[in-house]
Structure 1
Amino acid sequence: MTPTRRAVLASSLAAFGGCLGRVSEVETACPAPVSTGETVRLGFVGDVMLGRNVNDRWREDPGGVWDGMAGRLDALDGLLLNLECCVSARGERRPGREYYFRAHPGWAIPALERAGTAFASLANNHVLDFGPTALTDTLSHLDDAGIPTAGAGRDREAAFEPATFAVGDLEITVVAATDQSPSYAARSDAAGSAYAPLKPADRLTRNWVGDAVVRARERDPDLLVVSLHWGPNWVVEPAEAQRSFARWLIDRGADVVHGHSAHVIQGVETYEGRPIIYDAGDFVDDYVVKDGLHNDRSFLFELVVEGGELAALDLVPVEIQRERVTPAVETAARWLRDRMRALSAPFETPVERRGDGLRIPLGGC
């Protein structure tokens, strides 16, 4: 977090009620801050599901899952994602589930490394698909690979513990939580996810998510990210409760709200110069494509940080083809641009054309 941001936060942590924030005009130009230091590009994507058919197809070619996106991923300083599966060769299926996602560590870890994964959120409704043994393996495999995680752990305290790591000149802290699958919630004596209802008025949310944000802020990072696996599937607009909670988080020091879970993209809001990605959609999976929703299309969201200041959010159109992520073809890219403009319009978010994709200026404009 920048010194200016820290000073504002220290002087006034706004109360939740009535905090509506300032929004910008659609399609207006907004100059990025002049860089006084290193430019860092951080990629944010939604669900990365490496199990089932993805696991079967790419076990002999871990880098193939990124297909034509490899060069773009290489140009990033780090990638932050939601890992929508456990990474293990062990465990038993948890009873009563419809879908089970597990990737073999022999290829999944090299694939994540090949993508330049700087952080993997485990706060989701699939970390316990194969029980606590597979979750423990997932934590161990990622830790051994040097990939920081948050959002799941061997007990509740560990699940809500923020992750802190460096990307370039930036020190980043991430808090991860989910409102999905309460039966997967970590307990004081059991492994699981960082589950909470994700509503500011809820005591559990205040106690666990609120406290985690306080602990994260006390570390004084350059960038504080909150990664949320939230809301129902196949819904293209965030609920008012999600909007309120996202703003509540920024009022308390978050610099980026990184949402995922719906399997489709939702709009982006800029609040106090900070981006709220309500849902980043799916980046890699083998899911059936829903009519009209195009859940096989999403963006690589590239956060541009110049001289320690948030400058812009670049949206690179992508699509999933045969269990791999690829650059979106022209028709898909056009659809994604039009859809994002329409979904972001209610927030009065400035959206500009940038090549095949879009740019959302940041930095207090």
Structure 2
Amino acid sequence: MRKIGIAGLAVLLLVMLSGCGGEIPASGDMDMQTRQEAQAENTQRQITISCAGDCTLGTDVSFGGRTLPVEAEAQGNDYSWFFRNVKPIFASDDLTIVNMEGTLTTGGSREDKTFAFRGDPAYVNILTKGSVEAVTLANNHSRDYGEISFTDTKKYLEEAGITWFENLNTAVKEVKGVKVGLIGLYALNGTAESNLPKAMEQVKQEGAELIVVQVHWGVEGSTVPEQSQIALAHAAVDAGADLVIGHHPHVMQGIEEYRGRMIVYSMGNFCFGGNQNPRDKDTMIYQQTFTLRDGKVQDKLDYVVYPCSISSESNRNNYQPTPAEGSEKERIQKKIQQLSDEVGTLTVKFAQDQETGEAANPMEEDASPEQKDSMIL
């Protein structure tokens, strides 16, 4: 197994794909069926996917001050304002996915919980104008105003053309001719492990060629993943996931490479109406370009991590995620590096605890430069 090449996160290796990788003989050298098969085997497709963290497009009724709805009014309800600084990244990809942590509804009754989030249904335009095409609803806030709030949220997302997925409500979205399987698992109630194989089978039966698994897991405020997270992430890759993305801690956790696939344990907050001034405003955008040949995802890792802040102002949260620059960018880069190194140490312990003869340990060797194209921007 291999440690994540976070060294590769420091240098961008621009690898230009050289085409179909072989010449197809002239028509006289093979029959039509053989030529078609040879062409199909050499057909190469690429798709770029971006992932970001928790988006709470609303507020709790107990909050005062400059909440997200107040900010929206201050911006003249220009919903494009919120993702304005990150839209160039999202608009340049083929699919953007975030964790939609809250509800879009005017109905329902508040659940008896510490925080319950609700936003105006019009806030779905924050996503559409920000070039977000899919959301996971597998989290502990998707029913904050009862089942009707979950139903309403799904309705407004669908009307806006945004794909949603949650637990066994999986989705397969065709993008650039690639069928992308989308799975969202909720691990906080112990159902993720049993739902994983069922969800995998569902998207595979629908023809998914590339599978993204997003998981709500871990401990709030913890920058270190639990061993249960590592176990579930590895199980997802073993079952066929091509990318695993985590949410819930509201802070970033490290990145790991496991068996030629990437795991981002926690993305942190993003456009987060759940806190007007969190101590930790660091976040990131993870973007990966997948190469498929003959309908299968190749092991080549071509990814970029963009260090960001959840706010364009340093002294408060104005709900406008913004790419970091200068010394702040360097600081967040180093932070992601350190968090990823910690994951590497944890996976060694995890492998030892499992006492498997075949250690599931991504630290044993690093990927070669020609197999890795990655950088924190």
2:110 partner SS: coil
**Equivalent residue number for residue 69 of structure 2:** 55
The match for 2:3 among 23, 44, 47 is: 23
Identical residues among aligned pairs (%)? 23
User: Corresponding residue for 2:356?
Assistant: none
Task: Identify which of 307, 317, 320 aligns with 2:307.
Answer: 317
- Alignment CA distance shift 1:250-1:33 (3 Å): farther
Cα distance between partner residues in 2 of 1:278 and 1:121: 15
Q: Which is greater in Rg?
A: 2
Matching of residue 259 in structure 1 with residue 246 in structure 2: yes
Residue aligning to 1:297: 282
Q: Which one of 331, 346, 355 corresponds to residue 335 of structure 1?
A: 331
- SS of residue in 2 equivalent to 1:343: helix
RMSD between superposed Cα atoms in Å:
2.5
Describe the SS at the equivalent of 1:55.
Answer: helix
Match for residue 238 of structure 1? 225
Q: Structure 2: how far apart are the matches of 1:304 and 1:229?
A: 23
Is the CA contact (8 Å cut-off) linking 2:173 and 2:180 kept in structure 1? yes
* Distance in 1 (alpha carbons) for counterparts of 2:4 and 2:249: 26
Given the alignment, which residue of 77, 81, 100 partners 2:98? 81
Q: 1:104 aligns with which of 95, 112, 120?
A: 120
Select which of 135, 144, 147 maps to 2:150.
135
Report if aligned partners of 2:85, 2:320 keep a CA contact under 8 Å in 1: no
**In 2 relative to 1, CA 26–57 (structure 1 residues): closer, same or farther, beyond 3 Å?**
closer
Aligned equivalent of 1:4: none
Q: Which amino acid aligns with 1:57?
A: E
* Residues 285-328 of structure 1: CA deviation (Å, up to 9, x unaligned): 1425554xx2x111111111235545312001111221211121
Do the aligned residues in 1 keep the contact of 2:211 with 2:241 (CA within 8 Å)? yes
Distance 1:45 1:250 in 2: 20
Superposed CA deviations along residues 92-123 of structure 1, whole A, max 9, x for unmatched, are 1012x1112111112x1211111222211000
Gaps in structure 1 of 5+ consecutive residues:
1-20, 152-158, 183-195, 199-204, 352-357, 361-365
**2: CA distance, partners of 1:49 / 1:242:** 23
8 Å CA contact 1:35, 1:307 repeated in 2: no
* TM-score for the superposition, normalised by structure 1: 0.76
Give the count of matched residue pairs.
302
| Cα displacement string for residues 32-59 of structure 1 (whole angstroms, at most 9, x for unaligned residues) | 5836445422110110111122233225
AA paired with 2:181? T
- Is 1:326 aligned to 2:340, yes or no? no
2:174 to 158, 163, 166: 166
Instruction: Find the counterpart in structure 2 of residue 191 from structure 1.
Output: none
Helix, strand or coil for the counterpart of 1:73? helix
Counterpart in 2 of 1:178? 186
Q: Match of 2:70, as an amino acid?
A: D
Aligned pair 1:359/2:375, yes or no? yes
